[in-house]
Amino acid sequence: MNDINGILLVYKEPGPTSFAVVDKLKKLSGANKAGHTGTLDPMAKGLLVVCFGRATKTIRFMASNKEYETVMQLGVATDTLDKTGKPLKELPYKHITRSAVEKVLPAFRGRIQQVPPMFSALKKDGKRLYELARQGKTIERAAREVEISSLEMTGFDLPYVYLKIACSGGTYIRSLCDDIGRALGCGGVMHQLTRTRIGDYKLSAAVKLGELKTKEDVIKRLLPIEINKPQKNTELYCL
């Protein structure tokens, strides 16, 4: 039987890992090979670009610019930099104003240096950082340059700040929330995250996993393989 080839835009619900979503689609479709172009945390929702067959070789040439909508919670810090982590400290936040947030945001626009979080899928000596973090280990991570092409506050309702972000691949929104919280002096964690765009692919065109019941359901939603100019920080995860 011929392997299926193409790209599937999936709406990942909060809960499952990106790996689990791809694994389920691989089994459902009977594909020999399947992968995705960038991990969404289990707590996150939004667009997951899944590729099958030959697309797993060409997907790396897709534009890696991504767009997110996030809710940042002020006044708390956790070991994972998001709401699922172990609380490390709580700080006063009720004095923070909308204008105070607006004042610090320009420092995080453009090309910035960002230290990847310990709770991430990056590898060190063959082990994922999150595996080391779960063992209580912390290792030094070098800062990496990422680009925040757009960072706008779309809502303010203490302790929550609503942000819309367009950024390069490899940007960690959890780290961005933590850095903004530090700049405000009150701490901050990622409370919610939705990925709305990857390159030219938009969340509005994605299908929910529950709507795919058969191999035919997957095949009829496949997009053709496209090859664009290589972009930095594009990641590919295959099964």
Active-site positions read 41
CB 108 within 8 A of CB 176: yes
How many of the other CB atoms lie within 10 Å of CB of 154? 11
* Phi, psi torsion values for 124, nearest 5 degrees: -135, 115
Residue 55's pLDDT is 81
Tens-place pLDDT, residues 71-105 = 999 999 999 999 999 999 999 999 999 999 999 99
Residue 133's pLDDT is 59
Q: Which of the listed CATH numbers 3.30.450.270, 3.40.50.2300, 3.40.50.300, 3.30.2350.10 matches domain 66-197?
A: 3.30.2350.10
Tens-place pLDDT, residues 116-151 = 776 666 666 666 666 655 766 676 677 889 999 999
Residue 62's pLDDT is 62
* Tokens, residue 196: 């709305």
CB 73 within 8 A of CB 160: yes
Count Cα atoms within 13 angstroms, Cβ side, for 120.
Answer: 18
Q: Give domain limits for the chain.
A: 6-63+200-238, 66-197
CA 236 – CA 145 distance, rounded (Å): 19
Residues of the chain with pLDDT under 50: 1, 227-239
Residue 234 CA to chain centroid, in angstroms?
12
CA 189 – CA 82 distance, rounded (Å): 5
pTM over 0.95: no
